[in-house]
Structure 1
Amino acid sequence: MIDKLEFLLALAREKNFRKAADECGVTQPTFSAAIKQLEDILGVLLVQRSSRFLGFTAEGERVLDWARRIVADSRAMRQEVQALKRGLVGHLKIAAIPTALGMVSELTTPYREKHPQVKFTIYSRTSVEVLSMLSNLEVDAGITYIDNEPLGKARSIPLYSEQYRLVTSENSPLGDRQSVTWAEVGKIPLCLLTPDMQNRRIINRLLQTAGSGELESTLESNSMIVLFSHVRTGRWASVMPEKLANTLGLTERLRSIPIVEPEAVHMIGLVVPNREPMTPLTVALVAEAKLLAERLRD
């Protein structure tokens, strides 16, 4: 039964029978047969389909909710048994918004020092994708904004406050200032994250509130590295979180200037599934997140 529920979750992620079968490492006929067997066991139609996947029935959506719980509990049980036998062993997957990627190492490095048999995969994703991947059991945890949009069925651990800076050359407009307002920032060319990123939506709202109207950026990317590499040339400017700018490294020519009026702060935190018991890998990550939050407050 568990393997069939895993197949159902894969289908929810991929929305395509062939891709879901590939993800599960089986042929498409084997995959389709397993879904049909699950429907026969439960006595309901779960998937709307003709020659292709069309979506889930109402019963299928309800079974998906149960599948997430059952599969998550099954994974937690296996991890706990393994931990009792060998200590923490496994693969921890974390999805983080681009502006928080520079902080991930402050979680993973001390974690690995304590649990050297754990390996990591880190994904760069939008805030919406972080929560979707968490819900669909594609990742064990996420790092995202926890005070700006609904988190759904997730537990959050606050890590640090994101404060915003104008990062620009000292010779560029506003580059000689000790602080700038959002209204002033809205009047200069900027390179920013793409509109699907929550950081960009936050910046847009702040600029609009300051009376800057609709923002037109000179360059957009879903990668903070791309933005910062342009800013480092001294010919571009951007709005970045203070901690990220410091992590990426300011050159002698670059300045990180506080943006005030209004002074905006948003909380970044670790999010994990709101279910008990948590997997041992996730329990250890939550513990590390609390230690990191204490260090950042000091």
Structure 2
Amino acid sequence: MFLRQLTYLIALDQYRHFSRAAEHCGVSQPALSAAIRQLEHELGVTIVRRNRRMFGLTPEGERVLAWARQTVADLDSLRQEAAFAQDVAGGSISLGVMPPAIQVVPLLLESLRAAVPALHVEVTVFSSSDILRELREHRIQLGLMYLDQVPVDGAFETREMYAEQHVLAAAGGIVLPGRGACDWAAAASVPLCLLSRPMRSRQMVDACFREAGVSPSVMLETNALELLHSEVLSGRLATILPVAALPAGAPEGGPLQVRRLDPSPAPGVGLVRVKQTVATALMVRAWEIVSGLSLGEAFRF
């Protein structure tokens, strides 16, 4: 069994097509097919369901794929460990972040690069459930998400960074109830743009409105935080977002109006990684750095 066979299998699962997987790996389609057949022969199992085109992996193939991902990830960690031992100023980390926490990322990057100046970071936005899947499949190394969604099966390590707080926010042209704070019944009367219903942050908002016995006036729903920011900064609609997800810029009419919502859910948000027996020097250092950050006051109103 060779590493290239495992790499081909991972690419085949990603592209679900022999020719595209072969192109990705820089080999011919017959060469990739032959390598997969050789792997099946060596293991004594059928990995791929074949017809005129690929239709997926067999149950045995799914198990082999999981081992392939683990093996390739371990080898990448070994290579990074060797490179890091030679040059502690560099390295690479992949981070998955849920949309409401995207503006926390620059703070993380600032702290990481202060300790590892040439660090390369790949940041991808995922839902919390997708972050867990990507971590399990070793596609990312760190996740920033709601900690109460992390399974308690012992597979993950977590570090809380802050407790989330939802607020009502709008530009100066919209009249908001109250002064420093308001309740959910009052917030329901304001024209709102909110995150999409499948998103956990929105589900918490909906639960608060239901508990208050009111139906909000929702004019726009989207999974794009940038679109919500645009609507709020333009003065067209108000929004309810976690403090960490508020737009960083101020509208033309001055700073945003912000009202604390009482009571407000306060789920913990933090970093997650797969629990490993052996971690690279870079991951040990990165985990130490981010674990030392306390952002509780930064994202409270």
Which deviates the most, 44-53 or 22-31?
A: 22-31
1:176 offset after TM fit, Å?
4.6
Using the alignment, how far apart are the partners of 1:280 and 1:242 within structure 2? 34
Change in 2 beyond 3 A, CA 1:17/1:150: farther
Structure 1 residue runs without a partner (length 5+): none
Change in 2 beyond 3 A, CA 1:111/1:62: same
Using the alignment, how far apart are the partners of 1:84 and 1:70 within structure 2? 21
Structure 2 residue runs without a partner (length 5+): none
Give % identity: 31
Change in 2 beyond 3 A, CA 1:11/1:204: farther
1:106 offset after TM fit, Å?
1.1
Report the equivalent of 1:220. 221
1:248 aligns with 2:267: no
Q: Deviations over 1:176-233 (max 9, x none)?
A: 53212223333433212223422222222332333235x6732233222221121011
Pairing 1:1-298 to 2, within 5 Å after superposition? 1-148=2-149, 150=151, 153-212=155-214, 217-245=218-246, 248-251=248-251, 252-261=254-263, 263-293=264-294, 296=296
- Provide the alpha-carbon RMSD of the alignment: 2.6
Change in 2 beyond 3 A, CA 1:181/1:52: farther
TM-score, length basis structure 1: 0.87
Q: Deviations over 1:34-53 (max 9, x none)?
A: 22222111110112232233
One-letter amino acid of the structure 1 residue matched with residue 105 of structure 2: V
Contact residue 17 and residue 31 of structure 1 kept, 8 A:
yes
Change in 2 beyond 3 A, CA 1:19/1:140: farther
Contact residue 162 and residue 268 of structure 1 kept, 8 A:
yes
Change in 2 beyond 3 A, CA 1:272/1:20: farther
Using the alignment, how far apart are the partners of 2:214 and 2:36 within structure 1? 53
The secondary structure found in structure 1 opposite 2:63 is helix
The secondary structure found in structure 1 opposite 2:236 is coil
Using the alignment, how far apart are the partners of 2:27 and 2:194 within structure 1? 42
Contact residue 44 and residue 59 of structure 1 kept, 8 A:
yes
Q: Deviations over 1:18-74 (max 9, x none)?
A: 444444344433333322222111110112232233232221222223223222222
One-letter amino acid of the structure 2 residue matched with residue 248 of structure 1: A
Change in 2 beyond 3 A, CA 1:292/1:259: same
1:100 offset after TM fit, Å?
0.9
Contact residue 75 and residue 279 of structure 1 kept, 8 A:
no
Change in 2 beyond 3 A, CA 1:276/1:2: farther
The secondary structure found in structure 2 opposite 1:87 is coil
